[in-house]
Structure 1
């Protein structure tokens, strides 16, 4: 079970790190993120920039708490709460007919939708599972065997990268694979 908790921590650390990096990589990226919050109309326009800064602060707090084993369970709990808050905001916006671009990882122009709700709920469930394991097994900080820890870490990193590119993957499957290039007829030489 230590490997489960370890993988949950790494997955959420990766997701929150990629999300944070996408939002703060430039002033333009942060402004786009803040504008997406304004477009969702969850807060008054003047509060939206402060809400964007609060999201950044929350993501930084989660990252800092997830690393040390002694605060990792608190980091998992904070991640779950933040993900549930994001999910609630998305649901409220969708029910109000507002589909602003998802700037969750910075650059995506994909409008928020049910896929984002499901993604966040799965991530929140991951955090809850990690939290449950860590509270049930206080020694569930670092894996006992390097090989098992490496497998858990690689799986979690791959999952984090897939989560970060979820909009692109969903678009790929919505439009289908590119049609094969038609074979050119061969010229007949006489």
Structure 2
């Protein structure tokens, strides 16, 4: 059962980071703008850092496909969402709530809810990394993929709800 849970978490991470990397890579210019808007790096480092982030997200996906790569990939996934949470937290502490998340999903400004989301994701990825990654049969593999797809669909819906809530707050404040 633990190997099934680990496989489901790994597949969920692969879906999540594939979506994020593709979204960021498809509009690299917009993504570099989001990274620059965080105001954490000198301008000359924004493009290389943006490319490195997309590369690291792609590495998470690739590691999920490599035998023996799951634990390291999930640790990398936890580190990335942790890094993103630190960037968001710094900007929230500065009072910079207008910054676009740049997460690779629905458009939304950073909020404390995104910090909670990233903490939950980091915990999930570390949990998956700590579980054994034994081989699975076809039925177990399909069950893990089904669980991951259901979790990913729930994540996308929750992400959209966060985006809608942020939009409504901006609309009420007259800053949309």
| Same fold by TM-score greater than 0.5 | yes
TM normalised by structure 1 equals: 0.79
**Aligned-pair distance for 1:165?**
4.5
Pair 55,19 (structure 1): closer, same or farther in 2 beyond 3 Å: same
Equivalent residue pairs, number = 165
Residues 1-190 of structure 1: pairs in structure 2 closer than 5 A: 1-25=2-26, 29-99=27-97, 100-105=99-104, 108-134=106-132, 140-144=133-137, 146-172=138-164
Question: 1: CA distance between counterparts of 2:150 and 2:103?
Answer: 18
TM normalised by structure 2 equals: 0.84
* Mapped contact 2:85–2:118 kept (Cα < 8 A): yes
Q: Which runs of 5+ in 1 are unaligned?
A: 135-139, 176-190
Deviations 1:32-72 (A, max 9, x none): 11101111111122222222111111111111111123111
Question: 2: CA distance between counterparts of 1:88 and 1:133?
Answer: 26
**Aligned-pair distance for 1:148?**
3.4
CA RMSD of aligned residues (A): 1.9
Question: 1: CA distance between counterparts of 2:38 and 2:24?
Answer: 17
* SS of corresponding position for 2:69: helix
Question: 1: CA distance between counterparts of 2:40 and 2:134?
Answer: 37
Question: 2: CA distance between counterparts of 1:58 and 1:171?
Answer: 25
Larger Rg: 1
More helix by share: 2
Q: Which runs of 5+ in 2 are unaligned?
A: 169-176
**Aligned-pair distance for 1:171?**
4.5
**Aligned-pair distance for 1:109?**
2.8
**Aligned-pair distance for 1:17?**
0.3
* Mapped contact 1:2–1:143 kept (Cα < 8 A): yes
* Mapped contact 2:108–2:162 kept (Cα < 8 A): no
